[in-house]
Amino acid sequence: MCGRYVSIQRIEAIEKIFNVQAPRDMEQFQSCNISPGQKAAVITSDKPKELQLYRFGFTPFWAKKPMYWFNARSEGDKNKENDPNYKGSKAITEKPAFRKAIRSQRCLVIADCFIEGTTVEKLSKPYVVYLKDRRPFAFAGIYDSWVNTDTGEILNSFAIITTTANTLLQTLPHHRSPVILDKEEESAWLDHETPIEEVTRMLNPYPSKLMNAHPISADIKNPRAEGVELMNPADQRLTKEYDYKIYEEMKLIGMKYGWEKRN
């Protein structure tokens, strides 16, 4: 599952990278520990040129009260054994909670990396998982809007779609992977005209060779914990890196977050 992730880009950087515009009154929202219930940056299919803040934790429009589905399984109710070699249908299209959203309410969830625990120890043994080739990137997400019938308040929320574990996640070990979109898939993911068959073909694990991970402190378990020191490596990376620049930690430089290269 993917219940914690990191998004430390400033609004101006996201606007440039994803070709979107944020509302002028949007506050900076960087966090090294985005958890369910927190607002985070998304780009939705109904406003593909606008950056918005939605709550992490999906509530379908028909719910009687707010819910917190932070992940949506691409296989729906199939592959309950989390077989990494599963080749069956992407039954998210049949799941009552998600079948409407996957067809017409898709979003990009902006992230720099994500936090994953092991299958047994969970976040008592956490890792930062990141892409070697780009940052930030976009998770495949779905969203919905729920109306509180008592107050009229509108709750906009999202979930990250997950799929089978790639070999890197299996090494942790962990049984799921969040769906990370290729850059060229992002426009099609947001396009209402994209056939559902093409949408579900995007729901695959990201190539392990383009990813890496290193362990971090279990302090990340506390959803209120914050700060770039949470990302400091507690041990070696899962795989050695020879062809990519190696970065050791994230550092707050003035008013801007960035990767700091260790000499």
In angstroms, the CA 205 to CA 210 distance is 11
- Residue 259 confidence class, pLDDT cut points 50, 70, 90: very low
| Structural class in CATH, domain 4-260 | alpha beta
Closest CA to 71 of 147, 139, 167: 139
Max Cα-Cα span within the chain: 58
Residue 262, pLDDT score: 33
State the pLDDT at residue 1.
66
Q: What percent of the chain has pLDDT over 70?
A: 91
Mean pLDDT of the chain: 92
To which H or E segment does residue 39 belong? strand 39-44
**Mean pLDDT, range 229-238, rounded to an integer:** 95
Contact of 79 with 164, CB cutoff 8 Å: yes
How much is the pLDDT for 261?
38
Q: How confident is the model at residue 2 (pLDDT cuts 50, 70, 90)?
A: confident
Q: What digits encode the pLDDT tens for the residues 200-229?
A: 999 999 999 999 999 999 999 999 999 999
Q: What local confidence, expressed as pLDDT, does residue 212 receive?
A: 97
Per the DSSP assignment, residues forming a β-bridge with 109 are: 42, 139
- pLDDT tens-place string over residues 146-174: 999 999 999 999 999 999 999 999 999 99
Q: What pLDDT is recorded for position 254? A: 36
Contact call for residues 247 and 233 (beta carbons, < 8 A): no
Q: Is the pLDDT of residue 245 over 90?
A: no
Bridge partners of 155, per DSSP, are 146
Residue ranges of domains in the chain: 4-260
In degrees and rounded to multiples of 5, residue 228 shows phi and psi of -65, -20
Give the SS3 label for residue 160.
strand
Tens digits of residue pLDDT in 68-86:
999 999 999 999 999 999 9
